[in-house]
Structure formats: C-alpha cells, structure tokens
Homo-oligomer: A and B are copies of this chain.
Amino acid sequence: MTVLEERSDERQPACSIQATLDIVGDRWTLLILRDLFRGVRRFSRMQHDLGIARNMLADRLSRLTDAGVVAKVPYQHRPVRYDYVLTPKGLDLSNSLLALMAWGDRWCHDGDAPTVLVHADCGTPLEIATRCPACDETVSPTRIRSLAGHDDTSPGRELAAAGAARAFQQHPTNGGAL
C-alpha cells in the first residue's frame, strides 16, 4: 500500500480535495497528465520527456488507468503496444492543470509565461477564474463562503481568505512577495 492509496482510512471522509489527491496527488502523476494534455501518448516519449524511471511511469500509468483517468488504446498487436489517452474524466482535469500553470506563471516567472494558452477561435490568451453564474462575474477569494453539503453543522462559514488577508495586513513585514 503506497502513500497514494492509503488514505482510504478517511480522516476527512468527504473532502473532495483529498479524494482528488488520492488519485492525482503526486508530483509524477500531475506531470504525466501535463504531458498527456500536450499530446504525448507513448510510454517512451513520456519517459524521455519527464526523466522519470520506467517502473515509476508504468506504475503511475496503471494507477491512472485503474482510476479511469487514462485509457490504453492499442496501436499495434503482437506485441500489444498502447497509446495512453485521456478519458473524459481525465480531460476534465484541464481546469486544475491550467490553474496550477497560471499560478506558476504569475509567481514563479514574474508573469511572463513560458507557454501561453490561447482561445483557438480568436487567439486571445485564456484566463481561469472562479465565477458566480448568477451574477455573471468573477469572484475574488474573499467573497467565497463554504456551505456544508450534508452531515456538517456550520452553514455558511467564512473561508479563511478574508480573515487571512486581514491578519496578513496587520503584519506587513512578513512574506516575500508583497
């Protein structure tokens, strides 16, 4: 039992972030998914791109396949050789990858992104955002509240965002990136 699956003991039984990390919460797994999104489909190509050990790659791909995130489609028989392609479940991770990438662009590369993602229809650089469908506007972290889904008791808790922002203001000496 590896660290990737051991969380079945469920300390936070119903946390979706934990559930997601149980599947993709591993540096190699996320980098493999990045490669898949970029169109890399072959074992050897990924191995070369990532510099990952082959046993690790084989292990991660089979986990992803078991999880239904990736599917193996044979491109050759005897010996069977597979392309690894994203399933709909895997494609749906694009927002997550994009959000991580956007953060890296902003904070690790001073905003000048190594690769820019643009809208295929008009060429405009894309952005990722939390939105309120009713107000039809982008919502800042300070305007987010969490609501218990079922078995919790606190309705409408303030997320840390606002509080943290306040607390942080009071100590402007800390934090490198201010």
Instruction: Decide yes or no whether A94 CB sits under 8 A from chain B.
Output: yes
Measured as residues with beta carbon below 8 angstroms from the partner, the interface class of chain A is 35 or more
The answer to whether A93 and B103 have CB atoms under 8 Å apart is yes
Interface of A is mostly: mixed
Q: How far is the CA of A34 from the CA of B146 in the complex (A)?
A: 12
The answer to whether A164 and B86 have CB atoms under 8 Å apart is yes
> Chain B contacts of A19 at CB under 8 A?
104, 108-109
The answer to whether A73 and B170 have CB atoms under 8 Å apart is yes
What is the interface of chain A, defined by CB distance below 8 A to chain B?
A: 3-4, 11-12, 14-23, 25-27, 30-31, 34, 36-41, 49-51, 67-68, 71-73, 83, 85-109, 112-122, 124-135, 139, 141-150, 152, 156-161, 163-165, 167-168, 170-171, 174-178
